[in-house]
Amino acid sequence: MIKTKHMATLISCVAVSVTAQTAKSVIEIWVWGGPSQLETFDPKPKAPTEYNNNLKAIPTNVEGIEISEMLPKLAQQADKYSLIRSMTHTHNGHETATYLMQTGREPGGGRVYPAIGAVVAMFKSKRYQGDIPPYVILTVPKGRFSEIGFLSEQYAPLVTGGNPTQPRFVVDGIVPAGDQSPDEMKARFDQMDALDTLGQVASENAAYKDFKTAGAGARRVVFGDAAKAFDLNLESAEMRDKYGRTQVGQSCLVARRLVEQGVPYITINAQGWDSHKRHFEVMRQRTAEMDQAVAALLADLSEKKLLDTTIVWWTGEFGRTPRIQQDAPWMGGRNHFCTCFCALVAGGGFAGGRVVGESDETASNVAKRPVAPQDLLGSIYELCGIDPDGKLPNPMNVDCVILPPESKEGRLRELYNNRISK
Amino acid sequence: MRISYPLVLCVSCAAMLHAAPYIGYVYPAGGQQGTTLQLLVGGSGILSKNDFGHVTGEGVTVRDIIVVPNFPNPSGVQQKWILSWLENIADGKMERPPMPTLQEHLDEWRENPWWETLDKLNDLQRNLVLRDLLARRNALQSAPSIRQMAIVTVDIAADAPPGLRELRLWNSVSGVSVPRKFYVSMMPHQCEPRYVSPSRPQPPLPTIDTIPVAVDGQLMPGEVDVYKFKLEKNKSYRFTAQARSLLPFIGDAVPGHCQLVLRLLDSDKKEIAFVDDVYFYPDPILYYKPTVAGEYTLEVRDNLYRGREDFVYEIALEQGEPALKEYPNPLPNMPQTKYSDLKRNSIDISQPQCVTGVIVNKNQYDTLRFKGRKGQSLVIEMIARRNNSPVDGIMRLYDDAGVKLAEADDYKEAINVGEYIQQVDPYLSMTLLKDGEYRLVLADRLQGCGADYRYWLRIGPAMPDFAVYSTVSFVNIPVGSAARVRFIVDRKEGFSNEVKIVSDDLVVSDTIIGVTNIEKNVTFKAKDERTFKPKPISLFAEASIQGKTVRKPITPADQMMQAFAYNHLLPAGNFYAMQYRASMRNTDPSKRASKKK
């Protein structure tokens, strides 16, 4: 009974909140661990060595915008994205900062709010008719984090598992491991159905019905065309090379294929950015992979005319300490730093070739136009046609607004391509 | 281009920090009087024959230092070759095995001086080679700062006073290191059995039957160290562990220290005692009184099965009954009153005084009464956890009508000094708004109780004061140049004046910590001859308190991070200054010690 009521509330929310011209899909590139702002989109070549390690900034294809020399391919795509160099909050712990950046909410307070992926999936699911769940995570979930919060399980992400760089991308529960043929799999499902004694006595039970509905949906994905979205062998070798044969590169390619299927929200959790030690060694590897992957994704989406309807956003839970930590045990590392860090937004109504906000001469403080997490998320919601001040269904029927009020500086309206009717 | 002096100074400071020797751990962390020990010291910036060691206090001398050459990753073929030679040596055959004949294997051959001379090494050296090749490690927990190793041989004189010492390394081209703890003890020490190749039969565990004894070990990932002891019937034994106290803060571990667990098993392998802390303190003490004489097994591990070379521990086994904790008096310079002697009498708050008490009963609320005047300044500070008492204090102040005026729980200090992780002692500071009688009620927040639950309460007018700490316990000064050290001032109870850093031994500039600052980088230059040896230095801080100039010693300390997040100042025994010959040297040990043939 509670579930039915919950669903009714949900439908009314959807009806109220979706506006006409909106982004259809979102690709979130979560730079897990906290990417250094100085080695990505806010280089400080004029800062002392103990801040920038003598790294340079390079020009982009947009006059006046420079990014780190570690991102040469992305420098050639700057007209497609905008940078925020003044992200700021107050949490330097991975878990609390991730919660804040994903939900727009301060941690604590007794309610676990859903991540943006689940919220977008919920609001978009009315129009989305695909067989693949509306929220897909490539390839691992964020640790110690609940994506759905208090929302219904139906908006939980499909977490692919597997490794898209392998010859077969074995997606958990969708692409069978080993050499099973579709016929063999069907035979196994039939056998499982034959053994389903619970169904014989509880076929009208609501929970059982939900279970069977979910199972039927999963089978449609497994045996229909939807699973082909995960089959990178259908892409040319040239295209795969373009993205880079790395976890993040091939994940970006899968994300593009999921966008083509209409999946509303795709998260790529890119690991390995928590560079407390060997920071520059780690950065050289990670930024090279990320540079190739994201540059290829933006170019590909643009060429396929998908960028206008697909938001791509890139950031982590925080940035990293601008001053390099030379003391033991770090010996050349950067720590967590929430005071000032950067984000990238592209497509789906976000203008390209612009910079919002500014940090000081060492990227240690926000100098102009601070951007709070709820402002960034609120902007994505607005471009998706979701009212950030709208309500979320809550199983306890508690009044829950999607986001807290925007900050004094407000959402990123200066980057909107005038598509929001509100 | 003209380069300004501060910029040059900055660069030289950065270079110094790169190059100075660093000690991450010392294993074993202690030894018996009258013995010679081989200490395994892990760190970075350790050179070779140019390095020297120093142990504070009387009776401990460093005989020599052998730097362990950094071991590169050998190819599979080379690893087999080294292991086969080690196996031969273990079987008494010292000759080198034949080299592989295929050129492709030789192309991958990596050079390391110890790998080439295994027959010339001592047992400890060979064991380090073996351990490096085979022991399990957690890549996520690896730290460049402790990748280098040195074997430091120390002689402990028979009459060396027992107690805590500090070991530092130094060399003339980069300076002196941070200190690490080392204990001289009266009891014999035994190190954990050395690493044995899994391919060889594991030797039987020796039974330790001489008590008292201290056992020393290092925990590697997933490791459970095991010791066997012969215990007698009806005697009380005490196993006192030290791990966190040896290295109180580890920056890149969560929790930020080794958290030991002790488990005692009887001869049937049945657990008979388990302990993982003493009240709030992570180093456990296990008491046991056997009802049956025989062999007992002690298991030692980190509670999360973490491990790394710096997870060093020492466990002292002695006969002894559980005893009350002994506490120093943290407020010795003021009148002392026992709470139990107060009865219902009022206390005088016109002068600072110390009231001591014990929370012996569950739900015990101690009540202090005093008379106050309107406008009177009053500070009430509980010292308990900071003095290692288990009390987690809470205080409430009421007026004579029973109205609660104030409540204090955990007090957040401006800086964290010492080994405690979290400040939980309460503190109240106020100006009384009316004449009258007041009641202060205090209790343990967690409703704990017992004879160990002691507190010390300072009550009286505010005492404006200051304390200054260095953030490193040394300064390494390049010859002919200068170096900077950061100092932090803790201003207390209304003290708001500037503080001046003073040294009789060094030339000091930029000495004033201004009234709006809590920290300052102070520049030091050498005054005396070029000695290239660390020299203990006295540093002082001067300031005016209520019109009177006060000079106080600065507490030498090293700033340490805990669990990626929190900074602590860990006091050291001395502050050392040293001149060194600045040289451009490769500070990355991995690039210095290995190359392809």
Contact flag A327-B17 (C-beta cutoff 8 Å)? yes
- The C-alpha atoms of residue B595 and residue B597 are separated, in whole angstroms, by 6
Shortest Cα distance, chain B CAs vs residue A281, angstroms? 12
Sort out which chain B residues have CB atoms less than 8 A from A332's CB and list them. Answer: 144
Q: Are A256 and A297 in contact (CB under 8 A)?
A: yes
Chain B residues whose C-beta sits inside 8 Å of any chain A C-beta: 7, 10-11, 14, 17-18, 22, 24, 43-44, 143-146, 178, 250-252, 564-565
Show the 3-state SS of B335-367.
Answer: CEEEHHHHCCCEECCCCCEEEEEECCCCCCCEE
- The C-alpha atoms of residue A324 and residue A39 are separated, in whole angstroms, by 12
**A144 in contact with chain B, both atoms CB, cutoff 8 A:** no
Sort out which chain A residues have CB atoms less than 8 A from B178's CB and list them. Answer: 328
Contact flag A328-B14 (C-beta cutoff 8 Å)? no
Which value does ipTM take for this structure?
0.75
| pLDDT over 50 at A12, yes or no | no
Chains A & B: contacts with CB separation below 8 Å: 46
Higher per-residue pLDDT: B596 or A337: A337
The closest CB to that of B251, out of A48, A50, A329, belongs to A329
Q: What is the pLDDT of residue B12?
A: 39
Q: Range with the lowest mean pLDDT among B245-254, B270-279, B296-305, B577-586?
A: B577-586
Spell out where A157-284 has E strands.
158-159, 265-270
pLDDT bucket at A282, cuts 50 / 70 / 90: very high
Q: What is the mean pLDDT of residues B531-559?
A: 95
- The C-alpha atoms of residue A45 and residue A139 are separated, in whole angstroms, by 35
The closest CB to that of B564, out of A326, A331, A335, belongs to A335
Q: Are B187 and B214 in contact (CB under 8 A)?
A: yes
Q: What is the mean pLDDT of residues B545-563?
A: 96
Q: What is the pLDDT of residue B344?
A: 83
Contact flag B145-A336 (C-beta cutoff 8 Å)? no
Could you read off the pLDDT of A124-153 as tens digits, one per residue? 998 999 999 999 999 999 988 899 999 998
| pLDDT over 60 at A18, yes or no | no
Q: What is the pLDDT of residue A6?
A: 35
Average pLDDT, chain B: 91
pLDDT bucket at A215, cuts 50 / 70 / 90: confident
| Among A residues 392-421, those touching chain B with beta carbons less than 8 Å apart | none
Q: What is the pLDDT of residue B323?
A: 87
Sort out which chain A residues have CB atoms less than 8 A from B44's CB and list them. Answer: 328, 331
**A45 in contact with chain B, both atoms CB, cutoff 8 A:** no
Sort out which chain B residues have CB atoms less than 8 A from A91's CB and list them. Answer: none
Sort out which chain B residues have CB atoms less than 8 A from A326's CB and list them. Answer: 14, 17-18
pTM of the model: 0.85
The residue of chain B nearest to residue A332, with distances taken between CA atoms, is: B18
Q: What is the mean pLDDT of residues A202-231?
A: 88
- The C-alpha atoms of residue A370 and residue A84 are separated, in whole angstroms, by 9
Q: What is the pLDDT of residue A174?
A: 84
Shortest Cα distance, chain B CAs vs residue A90, angstroms? 13
The residue of chain A nearest to residue B141, with distances taken between CA atoms, is: A277
Shortest Cα distance, chain B CAs vs residue A84, angstroms? 26
Could you read off the pLDDT of A403-416 as tens digits, one per residue? 999 999 999 999 99
Q: What is the pLDDT of residue B99?
A: 92
Shortest Cα distance, chain B CAs vs residue A358, angstroms? 26
Spell out where A319-375 has E strands.
319-320, 336-337, 341-346, 354-356, 358-359, 366-368
Q: Are B432 and B459 in contact (CB under 8 A)?
A: no
Spell out where B359-392 has E strands.
366-372, 377-383
CA distances A94 to B372, B387, B422, Å, are 48, 32, 20
The residue of chain B nearest to residue A93, with distances taken between CA atoms, is: B565
Could you read off the pLDDT of B139-198 as tens digits, one per residue? 777 888 999 999 999 999 999 999 999 999 999 888 999 999 999 999 999 999 999 988
Spell out where B245-293 has E strands.
260-265, 271-275, 285-288
Give the DSSP letter of residue B387: G
The closest CB to that of B22, out of A277, A278, A328, belongs to A328
Sort out which chain A residues have CB atoms less than 8 A from B14's CB and list them. Answer: 49-50, 326
Q: Are B42 and B136 in contact (CB under 8 A)?
A: no
Q: What is the mean pLDDT of residues A30-36?
A: 97
Residue whose entry in the numeric block shows the structure tokens 């929430």: A338
Q: What is the pLDDT of residue A418?
A: 65
**Domains, chain A, ordered by start:** 2-174+232-415 (3.40.720.10), 176-230 (no CATH)
Shortest Cα distance, chain B CAs vs residue A109, angstroms? 21
Q: What is the mean pLDDT of residues B74-96?
A: 94
Could you read off the pLDDT of A66-80 as tens digits, one per residue? 999 999 999 999 999
Contact flag B565-A331 (C-beta cutoff 8 Å)? no
Q: What is the mean pLDDT of residues A214-220?
A: 85
The closest CB to that of A331, out of B10, B144, B178, belongs to B144
Q: Are B475 and B486 in contact (CB under 8 A)?
A: no
| pLDDT over 50 at B314, yes or no | yes
- The C-alpha atoms of residue B314 and residue B460 are separated, in whole angstroms, by 43
- The C-alpha atoms of residue B482 and residue B510 are separated, in whole angstroms, by 12
Q: Are A93 and A106 in contact (CB under 8 A)?
A: no
Q: What is the mean pLDDT of residues B312-340?
A: 95
Sort out which chain A residues have CB atoms less than 8 A from B143's CB and list them. Answer: 277, 328-329, 331
Percent above pLDDT 70 for chain A: 94
Shortest Cα distance, chain B CAs vs residue A328, angstroms? 5
pLDDT bucket at A17, cuts 50 / 70 / 90: very low
Sort out which chain A residues have CB atoms less than 8 A from B43's CB and list them. Answer: 328
pLDDT bucket at B585, cuts 50 / 70 / 90: very low
Q: Which one, of A1, A107, A6, A42, lies nearest residue A396 by Cα?
A: A6
Contact flag B24-A92 (C-beta cutoff 8 Å)? no
Contact flag B44-A328 (C-beta cutoff 8 Å)? yes
Contact flag A49-B17 (C-beta cutoff 8 Å)? no
Counts of helices then strands in chain B (DSSP H, E): 7, 44
The closest CB to that of B252, out of A50, A92, A277, belongs to A277
Q: Which two tokens stand for residue A37?
A: 């702002």
Sort out which chain B residues have CB atoms less than 8 A from A327's CB and list them. Answer: 17
| pLDDT over 50 at B586, yes or no | no
Q: Which pairing describes strands B393-399 and B404-408: parallel, antiparallel, or unpaired?
A: antiparallel
Shortest Cα distance, chain B CAs vs residue A66, angstroms? 26
pLDDT bucket at A101, cuts 50 / 70 / 90: very high
Q: Which two tokens stand for residue B314?
A: 């020492």
Contact flag A48-B10 (C-beta cutoff 8 Å)? yes
| pLDDT over 80 at B222, yes or no | yes
The residue of chain B nearest to residue A50, with distances taken between CA atoms, is: B14
Sort out which chain B residues have CB atoms less than 8 A from A276's CB and list them. Answer: 252, 564
- The C-alpha atoms of residue B70 and residue B176 are separated, in whole angstroms, by 21
Count the residues in chain A.
422
